[in-house]
Amino acid sequence: MSYGIRVIKYLNIMERKTKINAEDGKQDIVITREFDLPLELLFRAFAEPELVAQWMGTKVLKLECKKHGSYLFETCDPKGNVAFQANGVFHEFIPNRKITRTFEMDNVPFGVQLEITEFEKLTDDTSKLSMHVIYESPAQRDELLKLPFAQGLNYAHNRLQDFMNKLK
């Protein structure tokens, strides 16, 4: 009995809140997530530097939210050393609908990515985000899927704890 249940659990991982679709041999992925937030509020999290800084856990050195505008993020490790910089250019910036931008990390051999992010209203209080990320090659995509853990750049979970503690 537990055998079957265990397997269903593994399959359900693909059905959880944040879903990742990464087909074998392709050079893109699709990340989707439904939020318990109105559409306008969800979009604002991508448009205002201080909000981006809070949820991404990064310094936002530049964020020009318009066509041909550019951005520059700098992330530090817990000791305050610069861990990496990321930058890119906006190709489309349509409030509450769509952001198309490039994304590139400095000093890593992973090339540039194209990110097409779409925002959708579900109800007055819920919304959906869909990020289509295209890499230079299938091999680069697969390397990057492993990257966040290899380099320890994933502090998001701790940030959530910190943030919730501050609210108390």
Rounded distance between C-alpha atoms, residue 112 and residue 106, angstroms? 10
Rounded distance between C-alpha atoms, residue 135 and residue 124, angstroms? 34
Please give the residues from 117 up to 146 whose contact with other proteins meets the rule CB under 8 A.
129, 145-146
What Cα–Cα distance (Å) separates residue 68 from each residue in 8, 89, 92, 122?
Answer: 46, 6, 8, 30
Is residue 65 a contact point for other proteins (CB under 8 A)? Answer: no
Indicate which single residue of 47, 51, 83, 114 sits in contact with other proteins (rule: CB under 8 A): 51
Rounded distance between C-alpha atoms, residue 146 and residue 88, angstroms? 22
Q: Which stretch binds other proteins (CB under 8 A): 36-44, 66-74, 78-86, 100-108?
A: 36-44
The two three-digit tokens of residue 49, written as one number: 């530097």
Q: Say if residues 30 and 131 touch (Cβ distance below 8 Å).
A: yes
* Least separation in angstroms between CB 49 and other proteins: 13
Indicate which single residue of 11, 66, 80, 124 sits in contact with other proteins (rule: CB under 8 A): 11
Nearest residue to 72 (alpha-carbon basis) of 116, 102, 95: 102
Is residue 151 a contact point for other proteins (CB under 8 A)? Answer: no
Q: Say if residues 17 and 35 touch (Cβ distance below 8 Å).
A: no
Q: Which stretch binds other proteins (CB under 8 A): 25-33, 67-75, 84-92, 97-105?
A: 25-33
Is residue 77 a contact point for other proteins (CB under 8 A)? Answer: no
* Least separation in angstroms between CB 101 and other proteins: 17
Q: Which residues bind other proteins (CB under 8 A)?
A: 1, 3-8, 10-11, 13-14, 16-25, 31, 33, 35-37, 41-42, 44-45, 51, 54-57, 129, 145-146, 148-149, 154, 156-157, 159-160, 163-164, 167
